């Protein structure tokens, strides 16, 4: 059966396979979680998930013999080894770092990169709270526990799961690496 919907929740919960279209062309097709975890393009990465994925301009660098992302404001985020092969040719080049709000959490999880942020906006939803802050010169959203942040203006520590990072070529908008599952 073919079912057409513009509702991503319907598509993700009902489908065995999703065909995500844009402008009359297939952007990506596959199992729902495959598209969610390993998007082929920025469009797919940004379309699936609510709130949508954060996209932060960055430059690919090498620090201590490992790849890292340099963001505006002096933030450096080391990339885990699962990204290394796909990104070796991108050293010194501009990329987009894609991180889902649920992959920036409190408290720190093993292997995550710690980052201190200044909370600008709080959106409580009951069991979870969304916080907005600046990262690399753009507004970003993280999903935290209901009582993790109490007011705008707070400085809080987040843990960025860089294993789940999506790295995008800003020119073609194709995903270069989507990390591990």
Domain boundaries, the chain: 8-47, 54-177
Cis peptide before 51 (omega within 30 of 0): yes
Distance CA 118, CA 152 (A): 8
* Residue 84: predicted pLDDT: 80
**38 or 6, higher pLDDT:** 38
Is residue 180 over pLDDT 70?
A: no
* Residue 140: predicted pLDDT: 98
CB 105 within 8 A of CB 158: yes
For the stretch 26-65, pLDDT in tens is 999 999 999 999 999 999 999 999 999 999 999 999 877 8
Q: Which class does domain 54-177 fall in?
A: mainly beta
For the stretch 77-103, pLDDT in tens is 999 988 888 898 999 999 999 999 999
For the stretch 104-152, pLDDT in tens is 988 777 779 999 999 999 999 999 999 999 999 999 999 999 999 999 9
pLDDT average, residue stretch 144-169: 94
* Residue 83: predicted pLDDT: 83
Quote the distance between the C-alpha of residue 181 and its chain's center. 13
* Residue 66: predicted pLDDT: 85
* Residue 75: predicted pLDDT: 94
Tokens read off for 90: 């991108």
* Residue 88: predicted pLDDT: 85
pTM of the model: 0.93
HEC string of the chain equals CCCCCCCHHHHHHHCCCEEEEECCEEEEEECHHHHHHCCCEHHHHHHCCCCCCEEEEEEEEEECCEEEEECCCCCEEECCHHHHHHHHHHCCCEEEEEECHHHEECCCCCCCEEEEEECCEEEECCCEEEEEEEECCEEEEEEEECCCCCCCCCEEEEEECHHHCEEECCCCCEEEECCCC
- Confidence tier at 1 by pLDDT (50, 70, 90): confident
* Residue 111: predicted pLDDT: 74
Is residue 179 over pLDDT 90?
A: no
Distance CA 116, CA 72 (A): 15
């Amino acid at each position: 059966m073919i079912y057409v919907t513009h509702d991503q929740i319907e598509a993700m919960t009902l489908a065995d396979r999703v065909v995500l279209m844009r402008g009359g062309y297939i952007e990506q097709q596959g199992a729902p979680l495959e598209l969610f975890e390993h998007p082929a393009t920025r469009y797919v990465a940004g379309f699936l998930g609510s709130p949508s994925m954060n996209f932060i301009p960055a430059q690919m660098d090498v620090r201590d013999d490992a790849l890292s992302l340099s963001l505006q404001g002096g933030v450096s985020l080391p990339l885990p080894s699962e990204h290394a092969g796909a990104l070796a040719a991108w050293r010194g080049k501009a990329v987009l770092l894609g991180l889902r709000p649920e992959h920036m959490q409190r408290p720190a999880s093993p292997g995550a990169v710690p980052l201190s942020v200044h909370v600008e906006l709080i959106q409580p939803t009951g069991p979870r709270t969304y916080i907005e802050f600046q990262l690399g010169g753009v507004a970003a959203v993280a999903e935290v526990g209901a009582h993790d942040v109490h007011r705008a203006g707070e400085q809080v520590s987040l843990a960025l799961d860089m294993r789940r990072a999506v790295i995008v070529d800003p020119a073609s908008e194709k995903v270069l690496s989507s990390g591990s599952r």
